[in-house]
Amino acid sequence: MAKREVVLTVEKLKKAYGPVTIVEGLDLKVHAGEAVALTGRNGAGKSTVLRCIVGADKPDDGSVKVLGTKMNETNPEIRRSVATVIDDLDFFPDLSVVEHLDLLARAHGIHEPDALVDEVLEEVQLVPQASQLPNTLSSGQRRRLALATAFVRPRRLLVMDEPEQRLDVEGIEWLGNRLREELADGLAIVLASHEPALLKAINAREVRLGEPRG
Ligand SMILES: Nc1ncnc2c1ncn2[C@@H]1O[C@H](COP(=O)(O)OP(=O)(O)OP(=O)(O)O)[C@@H](O)[C@H]1O
């Protein structure tokens, strides 16, 4: 895989809520093997930009392209390329931890899904909770499950909103190491984070968002 391939291109992104302009004229390029961190104060627009990038929110202006193709959540090629960890509330209530991961791995046509799911469960330390339903997990365990969903599926771009939330110190250290490996394999990462240790671990390029105007 070419290391310097441009995976994500954001051009002149604008998003406003009513009279308040959250972001305007934002340009961003993220290459394979590179991590970009959106930083800025609470309310600066980090989550808004991430939602526009993954197609969960519609920009008022500008464009988002993944591997040269205009972002579109319903395009199967894009869905195969983009893994997101935006929140950890988005689970099927009646599927267990292992069933979630299994479903995702199979739906994305992963070769030997059972082996990968076992490996990732072990890594996120959810083996004892494998048969529990999401609403019975602790908040940190739910975050680990959300992170696990990104690692059992194909991905070229990983988009994460404060992935460190509710992780313990060891968990943040694990995440930094894991993401470093992903970068070495050519993954492109865009994240919002308030955790300097994580940003340092993955050598993230910082893009600081200013205050919303209006
Ligand atoms: N659907 C919405 N309608 C109106 N305003 C919104 C909406 N979503 C977000 N906002 C506003 O947009 C601004 C940016 O919010 P956003 O969640 O993107 O900030 P953030 O940088 O991620 O903040 P934090 O660090 O607190 O997570 C905030 O002022 C927020 O209140």
Nearest CA, atom 16, ligand 1:
45
Distance CA 116, CA 5 (A): 27
Q: Is the ipTM of this complex over 0.95?
A: yes
Please give the CATH topology (third level) of the domain spanning 6-208: Rossmann fold (3.40.50)
Note the pLDDT tens digit of each residue in 70-125. 987 778 888 889 999 998 777 888 999 999 999 999 999 999 999 999 999 999 99
Please tell me if the CB atom of residue 45 comes closer than 6 angstroms to any atom of ligand 1: yes
Nearest CA, atom 18, ligand 1:
45
Closest approach atom of ligand 1 to CA 50: 18
Closest approach atom of ligand 1 to CA 194: 25
Residue 48 C-alpha to ligand 1 middle, in angstroms?
6
Single pTM value for the model: 0.94
The whole-chain average pLDDT of the chain stands at 93
Residue 21 C-alpha to ligand 1 middle, in angstroms?
11
What is the residue extent of each domain of the chain? 6-208
Distance CA 199, CA 37 (A): 7
Distance CA 186, CA 7 (A): 10
CA distances from 128 to 1, 131, 151, 172, 173 (A): 36, 8, 19, 20, 21
